[in-house]
Structure 1
Amino acid sequence: MKRREFITLIAGAAALPLEARAQRAGQRYRVATLGPLLPSFFDELGRAGFVRGSNLEIDGRGERVAAVSYTSVAVELTEASPNVLMAVGAEAGRAAQKATQRIPIVVIADDLLGSKLVASMPHPEGNTTGVSIFAFQLDAKRLELLHEALPGARRIAALADRLPIPNLSALESAAKRFGVEIVPFAAQSEEDLVRVIDAMKAEEVDAVNLLASPILASKFQYLIRDRLALRRLPAILQWPEQAEEGGLMGYGPRLSAVFDQCARQVARLLRGAKVIDVPVEQPTKLELVVNLKTAKMLGVEIPPMLLSRADRTIE
């Protein structure tokens, strides 16, 4: 290579953004995961140039562990020195933070600021950023939509993954405006879910508000759907996709879109961005999906006004 060509090549490389130069260095990257992920997360990373099995290795030992094991598994994951640690839920995020102050962490959580996982959303300090889905506020909105769909319901179950429910006072305040009573339930296992959904029917609950939870929204979602159908309990769910898969109603951001946001943040960090320069994001769109096939099976007639506001109806 001639001297002039070499100088031109070096100058061109120096003109590239630091993040882009880091990705083109030919190195392999490692992302560790703590909590359940969607395949779309890896698809989005691939579109960003980080391809699983090529230049990207995924340490998925933490994807299917129970929440009680997050602390110990987070330590194991960080000991392998991944480039980024992806955590799903506030509990997973806190476990990751305890395990490392050095490795960048991306977290999906109800409220990263309110959970004190970050000190600032525009410029997160420390080693943590992610996506805040503000699920606690959406839980109250789901209660409103459920009341609109079933104005005759007077006892509405709030199904969470633990008691006391963190945002119960906000739910009860909203319920008071609608003239309904909130009946709290919690479950973290298959046995718990079968028991509490059966108990809802025994306690003459009219409908169910499935509260935000990475536990309930992942491995148990089909069990919840099927058990609610068996007990003929209408419910509103956290994600629009859950209504498309057989639930009555779903309201919130698309889970796949939230994971796409996280994947883009992970890609920026892999390219060399500093955590402080990767702001905490929020969902960009909320959707209401109503499944009329499920409504017919449950004997529920959804008011036309609510249907007119739905982003999608399943017929």
Structure 2
Amino acid sequence: MKKIVVGLIVVIVAVAAVGGYLFLKPKASIPPGKVFHVGILSGLNLFASIADSFKAEMTTLGYTEGNNIVYDLQKTNFEPEKEKQILSKFVSDKVDLVVGWNTEVSLEAKDAIKGTTIPLVFANAFTEGNNLVSSIRAPGNNLTGVRYPNIDVGIKRLEIMHEIMPNAKRIFVPYQKGYPSALPILEAIRPAAAKLGVTLVEFPAENVAALDAELAKRSASGSLGFDAVVFIPESLSTMKDAFAAIAKYTRAKKIPIGGSSVATADFATLFAVTVDSVEIGKLAAHLADKIFRGISAGTIPVVSPETFLIVNNKTATELGITLSNNILSKANKVIR
């Protein structure tokens, strides 16, 4: 009996040792003597700082620029043709990795690397309403990345506006007409609005001029027909011209605009629910590191950054809005 017990103990210890090795096995080292060439395309000025964070974190992970890694950093701002040319050059240069953001750039980069062995790390991109990834857990197609949590952000933006302005029952929601990711967001916030007792006044705008024309028509009627404005996460919400066009009609009426962080020279949105570019860059760097250490990009799950809240007390004061202690305590940043 003692021999059987001892034998079982030996087997258990052996299995535990093997299991421990499998789970605690150190990750592969950076290939010695290898110089990685990385093509980076920032497709939106608003998030250009992701590049700095990415490169800084890569340094922390052991990749020294000019030593074992070289970057080709390119920047655009909603310039599709230029972006195609840049990505084509990355492919012809046979870079070891393409890193790109926003959604449009990520989708274009996916097409650019097709048929090559070049992996892609996308960042700040929507994964809903498009075919960027096969799934969050297994993105496939030799790519992975950092998604923008647009559904969560859209709902939270509506909820924050409601908490600040509980009497605002009609909320204007402008968005870029035909933008692929707008529909999934709208489908998510409509039931949330109904639950809050809020009516969404949706307006799909072809461009800023069309948005201005709609607001001019509403203003001429004597009433804009809404009590607040919420930007959902899509392309129109990042444009200063779009914000300025809306503010031209809402500012004097003390109607708040919230959602994204946009400002003119002397006016800004009341609040923003967004993501941190620094965190996005860091997350992207860790994905790149895994790829360089031999893990197939398409098998690495897509990651999401945390959302954070910015409130602008200066704008609130101008609009005659008192921000509650609860809102101020929730805020990651308060602009005074």
Normalized against structure 1, the TM-score is what? 0.76
Compared with structure 1, are the counterparts of its residues 114 and 228 closer, same or farther at alpha carbon in structure 2 (3 Å cutoff)?
closer
Instruction: Give, in angstroms, the shift of residue 104 of structure 1.
Output: 0.7
* Conserved? CA contact 2:143–2:297, under 8 Å: yes
Greater CA drift, 80-89 or 35-44: 35-44
Residue among 54, 57, 72 paired with 1:41: 54
| Map 1:29-68 → 2, pairs under 5 A | 29-33=37-41, 35-36=43-44, 37-38=48-49, 39-52=52-65, 55-61=68-74, 63-67=76-80
Q: Match for residue 157 of structure 1?
A: 172
* Conserved? CA contact 1:31–1:56, under 8 Å: no
Residue among 132, 136, 145 paired with 1:117: 132
CA distance in 1 between counterparts of 2:203 and 2:311 reads 24
Residue among 319, 326, 330 paired with 1:305: 326
Deviations 1:202-236 (A, max 9, x none): 6343222111136743xx3x555555555414222
> What amino acid does structure 2 have at the position aligned with 1:107?
F
Residue among 134, 155, 162 paired with 1:147: 162
* Conserved? CA contact 2:228–2:257, under 8 Å: yes
Instruction: Give, in angstroms, the shift of residue 145 of structure 1.
Output: 1.2
> What amino acid does structure 2 have at the position aligned with 1:96?
A
CA distance in 2 between counterparts of 1:188 and 1:266 reads 37
> What amino acid does structure 2 have at the position aligned with 1:213?
E
Report the aligned-residue RMSD.
3.6
Residue among 103, 120, 135 paired with 1:105: 120
Deviations 1:134-184 (A, max 9, x none): 212320221111111111223212232334731323322222222322223
Give the aligned length. 293
Q: Match for residue 80 of structure 1?
A: 93
CA distance in 1 between counterparts of 2:217 and 2:62 reads 49
CA distance in 2 between counterparts of 1:240 and 1:190 reads 15
Larger radius of gyration: 2
Residue among 100, 112, 127 paired with 2:142: 127
* Conserved? CA contact 1:88–1:214, under 8 Å: no
> What amino acid does structure 1 have at the position aligned with 2:289?
A
Question: What is the identity percentage for the equivalent residue pairs of Structure 1 and Structure 2?
Answer: 24
Q: Does 1:180 align with 2:188?
A: no
Deviations 1:236-270 (A, max 9, x none): 2246999xx94311224323212221122223324
Instruction: Give, in angstroms, the shift of residue 310 of structure 1.
Output: 2.9
* Conserved? CA contact 2:237–2:260, under 8 Å: no
Unaligned runs of 5+ in 1: 1-14
CA distance in 1 between counterparts of 2:210 and 2:140 reads 38
CA distance in 1 between counterparts of 2:190 and 2:81 reads 29
Normalized against structure 2, the TM-score is what? 0.71
| Map 1:198-209 → 2, pairs under 5 A | 203-209=224-230
